[in-house]
């Protein structure tokens, strides 16, 4: 109920925490747990955490295979992640339960169309901007420049030098070949929202946030992501207060510690941060852990 109240107020971060607390009670009612997972997934979805939302949809579907809300949410998550084949499969699962469900019918049709478009793009001889016009790409580069964000741009062909022409420039985060399909974009308020990748090298795991608002703090996302400990954290040590964040300066083989209280924009404006493939990346390690000490061995580390 608390989670529902936060959700109505559009306070999705607190809603996630509330639903997570409900799940921690380990109620033996599978239907109630399915609702909690579905609701938490909806809150995660509104925060742009599409992979986390998808995980909840998968859990809810396992608990209650006929739960249409979970199936719809899972299909929408796959759409956001550009997994169009998977989105179609989820839609078909739901339409077998209710063949007239409007949202599933619409999503199924949209996924079919986008899947065809992607296949057409894959057969073109040169990289093509996916859903982003050249003018939009140009404006995004200008926005980054004004913020003093350093982008690593790669040529679209095998030339060694980068052309000054935007038409010949390939920025993976704005293109179909981005690993996640997400891309940086300007919202209606003129703020940049970035796809951000979290790496957990100790366990070879990752988290992906499809739309990390530039003025959001890292600690706020950590609180949501680790409101419930991940299944791979058998030692139960990946608590927000127990984590350190870093980014790597590959050119100098140096590590820089990130203040969790800082916003994404503050980190991107660091003089040694370079955004590659259109996707900012940070590493998360447990404080003073044996793995952390080994990981930093031989590297220069700039701590806070």
Helices (H), ranges, 147-285: 218-225, 264-268
pLDDT grade for 168, boundaries at 50, 70 and 90: very low
Reference 282, options 215, 220, 195, 223; nearest CA is: 195
**pLDDT tens digit sequence for 85-121:** 899 999 999 999 999 999 999 998 888 877 654 444 4
What pLDDT score was predicted for residue 278?
85
What pLDDT score was predicted for residue 165?
32
**pLDDT tens digit sequence for 194-226:** 999 999 999 988 888 888 999 999 999 999 888
> Count of CB atoms within 10 A of residue 136's CB?
15
**Close Cβ partners of 136 (under 8 Å, ≥ 6 residues apart):** none
What is the CATH architecture assignment of 185-303?
Roll (3.10)
C-alpha pair distances (Å), 178 with each of 48, 117, 186, 187: 17, 16, 18, 20
Domain boundaries, the chain: 1-122, 185-303
Where does 1-122 sit in CATH, by number?
Answer: 1.25.40.10
pLDDT grade for 61, boundaries at 50, 70 and 90: very high
**pLDDT tens digit sequence for 282-297:** 999 999 999 999 999 8
191 has a pLDDT exceeding 80:
yes
pTM value? 0.56
For residues 182 and 279, what is the distance between their CA atoms, to the nearest angstrom?
A: 9
């Amino acid at each position: 109920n608390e989670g529902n109240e936060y959700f109505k107020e559009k306070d999705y971060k607190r809603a996630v925490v509330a639903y997570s607390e409900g799940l921690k009670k380990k109620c033996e009612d599978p239907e109630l747990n399915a609702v909690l997972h579905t609701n938490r997934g909806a809150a995660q979805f509104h925060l742009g955490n599409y992979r986390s939302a998808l995980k909840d949809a998968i859990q809810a579907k396992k608990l209650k295979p006929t739960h249409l809300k979970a199936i719809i949410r899972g299909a929408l998550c796959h759409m956001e992640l550009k997994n169009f084949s998977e989105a179609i499969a989820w839609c078909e699962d739901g339409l077998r339960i209710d063949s007239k469900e409007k949202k599933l019918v619409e999503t199924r049709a949209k996924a079919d169309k986008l899947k065809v478009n992607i296949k057409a793009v894959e057969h073109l001889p040169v990289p093509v901007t996916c859903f982003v016009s050249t003018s939009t790409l140009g404006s995004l580069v200008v926005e980054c420049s004004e913020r003093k964000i350093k982008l690593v741009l790669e040529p679209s062909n095998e030339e060694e030098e980068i052309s000054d022409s935007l038409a010949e420039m390939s920025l993976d985060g704005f293109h179909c070949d981005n690993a996640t399909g997400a891309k940086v974009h300007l919202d209606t308020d003129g703020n940049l929202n970035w796809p951000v990748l979290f790496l957990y090298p100790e366990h070879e795991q990752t988290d992906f946030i499809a739309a990390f608002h530039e003025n959001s703090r890292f600690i706020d996302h950590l609180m949501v992501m680790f409101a419930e400990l991940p299944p791979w954290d058998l030692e139960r040590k990946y608590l927000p207060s127990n984590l350190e964040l870093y980014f790597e300066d590959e050119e100098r083989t140096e590590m820089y510690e990130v203040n969790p209280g800082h916003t994404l924009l503050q980190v991107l404006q660091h003089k040694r941060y370079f955004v590659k493939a259109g996707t900012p990346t940070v590493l998360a390690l447990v404080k003073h852990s044996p793995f952390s000490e080994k990981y930093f061995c031989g590297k220069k580390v700039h701590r806070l």
